[in-house]
Structures are given as C-alpha cells and as structure tokens.
Structure 1
Amino acid sequence: MTAPADLQQLAVEIAREAGELARRRRSEGVSIAATKSAVADIVTEADREVEQLIRDRLARARPDDGFLGEESGAERGTSGITWVVDPIDGTVNYAYGIPSYAVSIAAVSGEPDPATWDAVAGAVFNPVSGELFRAARGEGAWLGDERLAVNAEPTAAGALLATGFGYDPTTHAGDLARVARVMPLARDLRRIGAASLDFAFVATGRLDGYFEPGLQPWDHAAGALLVEEAGGRVWREGGTAVRRLFVAAGPGLFDRLWRAASGAE
C-alpha cells in the first residue's frame, strides 16, 4: 500500500497547480455557472474547471483510485484509496473577491463514505496567501517547515472560535441558538466562510475551536486530518447531512465546546 507521505506529496503538488488555476481565473473575472441547494449556494465555472484539472492529474498518477468531488460526484476505484476534493472551498468568498478560499484534497482509505473511511493524507492550499497546510496520518500536520500544534487551552480571556451557517434558511434559527449557547466560552467569534481553512486555523492555533453543522465530505476530509495530526480532536454528530454537526478543538476546550454546540448541557 502506498505510504501516507507519498499520497500527501501528490496532494500537495496537485493542490498548488489547482490553486494557481483558481487564482488566475479569479483575476480574469468570475462567471457563476449554477446554484445548488439554495440561491446562495453557487458554483462558478472555475469550480468545475479546477475540479476537472485535479481529477485529470489524479487519474494520470493513480488510475486505480476512487474519486469524490464536490462538482462531479463519486467514482469507486479498485486500489482502496479514494480522493476527496473540494476544488474551491469558499466559493462565495471567491466570487466576491474575499481572499479566504482554498483547494482541499484528501486521500482516504476505503469507500467514498465518511462514516467508514480513514483519512490518510491531505492538503489545503490558499492560493492568495500562498499558505499550504498538509498532513499525513501518523506524521503530523505542517505549514511549510513548521510542525503544527493546536492550542492546549484557551487563554483566560476565553476561546477564539469560528463557525459557519448553512444555505438553507430553515436552519438559521438553530444556528443562531447554537451561537448563543457557545458564546459564554468565547472571547470572540469568526465567520471565515471556508471550512477547510477553519480546520487549518485550529490546527495552527490561530483558532481555539470551530463548530459548524451541515458540512459535506469534501469540506472536512483534509481539514479534519490536519486538526487530528496537530493534536486536536474532531467530532461529528449523526443526523441528516443538513443538520450534522462538526466540532474541532484542542484537548483543553473540546469537551466544553462539544457540549455547548450540541446542546448537551
């Protein structure tokens, strides 16, 4: 079986190439291709082009692997490895010119089902900042030559947290109620708009914790591995795809954040 480090290296190389294409297309102007689950849930032409580039590069390098992409769906392979891809995480930011978006690529062991797979390698690349976060199972999470570590404990001022809100308006009341439960733990709250970067920032210690319902597999496959390899914890509550809750934090905060975000206290 291919070593996690080799899968990580491939993810890094393709993420950089894909990110450069996304950045170039953004500078040329964004064209909205379609909407998905709601009017606010958009797809740009660049999303589709970038995902096709990633898919082509992976097929050339590892033709027996499976693939699960945000824009093109799932395809099973025969190698036992599936690639889970978000070509542009933070599409609304991308469309508006907000420099918080990323290419997210993960290699997982097993079928394209997050309930059964084990993430083994991943890369999250922000082509605007040039930062590339990477991880391989058992080998840590990294930003360049810096090994990443989550914050063990929030400061006395409270935890710096991030969250996100779904596109379905019927979920917004629940989202706001969740924020109200969590705020006693927080010194402040951030809404970055790209789940892969939220996870990456927890892994680097730029955030103490992150919580959000409704994430899709490509939203968390690479980012959750970053947090775990940086010494943090990630939890996924069951339920429908829209209401499923993710929580990520360092060990000193995780239990309290989970209880508040999930309503268990």
Structure 2
Amino acid sequence: MTAIRRGRTRRAVLVTASCALAVTGVMALSGCGGGDDPDAGTNGVGKLPAGTIQSRTRAAADGAPTVRLSGTVVTSGRTYRLDMRLKADGGTGSVTSQGAAFRLLRIGRELYLKAGADFWDHADGKSGDGTVGKLDGKYVKVPQGDPAYRKFSGFTDKDVLLDGLLTLHGKLATEGHHDQAGTPTVRITGDKGSGGTLDVSLRGTPYPLRLVRAGGAGTLRFSDWGRGFALTEPSPSDTVDYGKQLPAS
C-alpha cells in the first residue's frame, strides 16, 4: 500500500510540474509577443487606416468641451504665436505677431483686446491725442462691425480654429508610432508630410496632440482636452469701450 501511495504521489508531482512548465512557457511566449506590439495597452487607433484615424480624432476634438492650443500659425504672410484656451462659448489667451503682444478674451459675442502702448502706438492718426495712454493695459471692447473683430475673434473660437487646422491635405498615410510629452501617439500624414502631419494620442480618447501644418504654415500643440476653466468679464474700471471703430493698428 505504501509503495502504491508513493507511486501516485510521484505521478501527481510530475503532472503538477509539467502543468507549471506549460503555463510558464505560454506566459513567456505571450510576454514576448506583447512586448513587440506597439499597440498593446493603447486605445487601438494605431491599427486603423489613416483616414479612419483622422475621422476619429476630429470627432474627439469636436466632442471635447475645452482645449488649450499653443504654437505658431502662419497666415497671409504673417506669423502669429498663440497660447489660447478655448471652449464652446469663448476663449482667452495671448497672441504675439511681429513683436507686438496682446491678449484676447471672448465671452459669447463680446470680444476684448488688451495690449500695451507698443501695440497701440501705431494707431492710425491717434498717437498724438492721448489715445495710447487711455488704451494702454486696458481691455478694449472690440466693436462687432470693426475689421479687428473678424480678424481676431477667430483665434478665440474653438470650432473655427479646429475646423481650419485639423485637416491634412493630399493622400493620407500612417507614419509609425511616436511620443508627445510622454504620451504615445500614432502619426498620420498628408502626401508623405508635405500636406501636414498630425500626432494622435494612443492613450484614452484619441485627441490630436501635435500638428505640423502643410507648407510651413506653423506647428501647434493641443493639450488640456476637457479641462474646465472660467471666462470672467473684465471689470468696468479695467475696460474701455472705444466706440464703433478701433484705431487701425
């Protein structure tokens, strides 16, 4: 009886050891395969065709309530450096162009521009009448009929900016996996990069994170997707209502 029990015990130990080795082997193989897969643990958009990735990231951007946009935009031969926070009903931030810096604030349809004397000093025909001193460092309410309203309000409009920016031109293709500030991304291109490149997050929602515009028209980074912020109307003491038209600057 003792010999029989010992035989059964040895067989049980061998079976257990064999099972353990088999499981270990499977895990090792799985581990090797997972380590070579750049899409393991991601949101999966890296496996999709470039056109589908672009559609997914556009939908994600449109659905986000807020975003921060920073970088450069070249339009009509002029370079603008932006750092804007945008939401559905307005936006706020700074813009620099040709050495002149100013701040924009839009709440609903009300647009305010705040700049120093160096910005206003070029005001057409106004520099000698004290206008610059009145506007220096104040939030100037921009009349909706003024050319400056149309020109600058677009910088504070999330939908307008994203619609104009998040489009690559030419034949779309994927260009491998990359990294933006520690976030893994998949890059899509238009015409091998000449039509622009866009890095899309592989972590969580597939938001756009970095855009290089076609034709050297600027590079932009997108962050703080969905992070709330307040838009506060400036106090009357810090606001100037210039009337129907701003000085031409």
After TM superposition, is the score higher than 0.5?
Answer: no
Higher relative contact order (CA 8 A, sep 6+): 2
TM-score bin, normalised by smaller chain: under 0.3
Structure (1/2) with the larger strand percentage: 2
Q: Which has the larger radius of gyration?
A: 2
Q: TM-score, normalised by structure 1?
A: 0.22
Q: TM-score, normalised by structure 2?
A: 0.23
